[in-house]
Amino acid sequence: MHDEGCIHCGARAIQRIQRLFAIGTDAKRERSRSTLAVWMAMGHDEARLRALAKAPEWALKPEGCSGNRESAPAVAGTSPRAPSGKKRAR
Ligand SMILES: [Zn+2]
């Protein structure tokens, strides 16, 4: 579903591994590394891929691409801006 010509898709694939897979840290590192290698082989910049993958929000290409059709999955509890713990006095 990911477009290997799109750096955002690569970053998102890595984010998906980091956030969604219930596997050990080492396994995540291995998967991330191999995913990174796939996109780097397509000519993308490693530092940029890593920076995008590290960002708190999903790496969605602003103008959209084929890989964006699946959109960012909603993962409970991992939203960086979840307004939890705030009580409204009313
Ligand atoms: Zn994309």
Over residues 20-57, the pLDDT tens digits come to 888 999 999 999 999 999 999 999 999 999 999 999 99
pTM of the model: 0.69
Q: Which residue has the higher pLDDT, 86 or 12?
A: 12
Instruction: Calculate how far, in angstroms, residue 10's C-alpha sits from the geometric centre of ligand 1.
Output: 7
Mean pLDDT of 52-76: 70
- Identify the band that residue 18 occupies on the pLDDT scale cut at 50, 70 and 90: very high
Instruction: Calculate how far, in angstroms, residue 90's C-alpha sits from the geometric centre of ligand 1.
Output: 43
Domain that holds residue 70: 1-90
Instruction: Calculate how far, in angstroms, residue 1's C-alpha sits from the geometric centre of ligand 1.
Output: 9
The confidence score (pLDDT) of residue 26 equals 95
Instruction: Calculate how far, in angstroms, residue 32's C-alpha sits from the geometric centre of ligand 1.
Output: 17
Q: Which residue has the higher pLDDT, 14 or 90?
A: 14
Spatial contact of 13 and 52, defined as CB atoms under 8 Å apart: no
The amino acid at residue 53 is A
Spatial contact of 3 and 38, defined as CB atoms under 8 Å apart: no
Q: How many domains does the chain have?
A: 1
The residues placing their C-beta within 5 Å of ligand 1, an ion, are: 3, 6, 8-9, 61, 65, 67
Round to whole Å and give the CA distance between 61 and 9. 8
Instruction: Calculate how far, in angstroms, residue 71's C-alpha sits from the geometric centre of ligand 1.
Output: 10
